[in-house]
Structure 1
Amino acid sequence: MIDVIIWDCDGCLIDSEHLSAQAEAECLREVGLEIDAQGVIDRFTGMMGRDLFVVLEKELGRDVSGHPAFGQLYERVFEIFERELQPVTGIHEALAALDPVPMAVASGASHRHLKFGLSHTGLYDRFEGRIVSAQDVPRGKPAPDVFLRAAEIMNVDPARCLVIEDSPRGMQGAHAAGMKSFGFTGATHGGARLHKQLEAENPALIFDDMSQLPGLFTKFIQ
């Protein structure tokens, strides 16, 4: 039985991964890592900032956490969001159809990022008070911490939660928390490549059209 749906934000609620990756790739190139937006998506989707800096220090041989480029990252991301950010196609209708089911958000992003992105797409009010950021827990994805915290907030057994995720790292965290998962590949950054990556994590199913979710959920819990 599933009592609660827990959503990843970027790439599941808001169509943002490809936009954030543009700004993040610019910053990473400025500190000396040769990478493009697709490389950011493949390597760092779902990773919290402090974990990213550990990876960069190993690869570059120096601590770059204080580099000015990262101080400008939020502004670069939000500038792109202001121009181009959209909700995932069909998400408002899917949420309305699923409305009787309690829901929360569990994300590797900061609260600042989450509030901006969800507010800009008209989704913040639906989840306010039930949004968990990696800032709230000791470890980001793929650790289970954000998911376990979301279950705690919702006062539900983790085994009775279903997670909607678009990244292998997030799916690993959901499974480590003892939760079931659906993989979503229908955002702009999705496709066959992402489908294959998610398939390797053994979700209950993978879908690419948000309008399918209410029917898939109903069938899953029967």
Structure 2
Amino acid sequence: MARFDMVAFDCDGVLVDSELATCKVLAAMLCELGWNITLQETYSAFVGRLVRDEIPMIEQRIGRPAPPDFYQQFVARRNAALAQGVAPVRNVAAAVERLHAAGMKFCVASGADRPKMELTLGKTGLRPWFEGRMFSGMEVARTKPAPDVYLQAAQVMGVAPERCLVVEDTPTGITAARAAGMTVYGYAELMDAQLLLEAGAERVFDDMAQLPALALA
């Protein structure tokens, strides 16, 4: 008997290679506020976190209140950057197709807002695979690292949490999936594999071509 009945993907960094473009926008905006943060520092500090929730930290760092429309401006500039082009994660399209051919249920459960998911999945050609199977942490009571979005996905998809495999690339997402009672595999092509294991990933892998064999075993 197969171990899993469903694969739940995070979106950014797992399905779509959107983190770099997003962090470039955020780094530029933080520099405009006087925080001379590098792109790598932005990546380390903010990937896996909601910028909206990090505004108090930003204000502490710059020593004054952020502009009232800072988050709205970030979303607008981020979406404009992503609309110019975003690529799918390497080998993920073929992996999803193989899961579909094998009859495996799958969905996307992201901490991001639905318009961002629709934009990036649409730009990468992945959206048809996930129509009706997109779950946003912005539409539940608590977003990641709380388990709400993963529990909602399991309920709607009709799968017991313990029969779900989650693919995540950040400690925040791994914490959320573990709290939902799900098994988590860490995708570590760009992230520190040891960091993902320490956060609670059962195993890590660095090529989406490996995923079907791992999920269908």
TM-score (norm 1): 0.88
Cα distance, 1:146 vs. partner? 1.4
How many residue pairs end up in the alignment? 213
- Report the CA distance shift for 1:63/1:159 in structure 2 as closer, same or farther (over 3 A): farther
Cα distance, 1:151 vs. partner? 1.2
Residue in structure 1 matched with residue 50 of structure 2 by the alignment? 48
**Alignment deviations for residues 135-168 of structure 1 (CA, whole Å, 9 cap, x no partner):** 1112221111111111122122211111000111
Q: Distance in 1 between matches of 2:151 and 2:62?
A: 33
Counterpart of 1:128 (choices 128, 131, 134) is 131
Cα distance, 1:113 vs. partner? 0.9
- Asked if structure 1 preserves the Cα contact closer than 8 Å seen for 2:30 and 2:36, the reply is yes
Cα distance, 1:84 vs. partner? 3.9
What is the RMSD computed on CA atoms of the aligned residues? 1.9
Alignment of 1:1-222 (within 5 A): 1-64=3-66, 66-67=68-69, 69-99=70-100, 100-186=103-189, 190=190, 194-219=192-217
Q: Distance in 1 between matches of 2:93 and 2:182?
A: 24
Deviating 4+ runs (over 3 angstroms): 57-63
Cα distance, 1:126 vs. partner? 1.1
In structure 1, give the amino acid aligned to 2:80: E
Partner secondary structure for residue 56 of structure 1: helix
5+ long unaligned stretches in structure 1: none
Q: Distance in 2 between matches of 1:149 and 1:34?
A: 39
5+ long unaligned stretches in structure 2: none
Q: Distance in 2 between matches of 1:156 and 1:218?
A: 15
In structure 2, give the amino acid aligned to 1:117: T
- Asked if structure 2 preserves the Cα contact closer than 8 Å seen for 1:22 and 1:36, the reply is no
Cα distance, 1:64 vs. partner? 2.0
Cα distance, 1:80 vs. partner? 2.8
Q: Distance in 1 between matches of 2:37 and 2:137?
A: 24
- Asked if structure 2 preserves the Cα contact closer than 8 Å seen for 1:46 and 1:107, the reply is no
- Report the CA distance shift for 1:206/1:122 in structure 2 as closer, same or farther (over 3 A): same
Partner secondary structure for residue 11 of structure 1: coil
- Asked if structure 2 preserves the Cα contact closer than 8 Å seen for 1:46 and 1:109, the reply is no
- Asked if structure 2 preserves the Cα contact closer than 8 Å seen for 1:110 and 1:133, the reply is yes
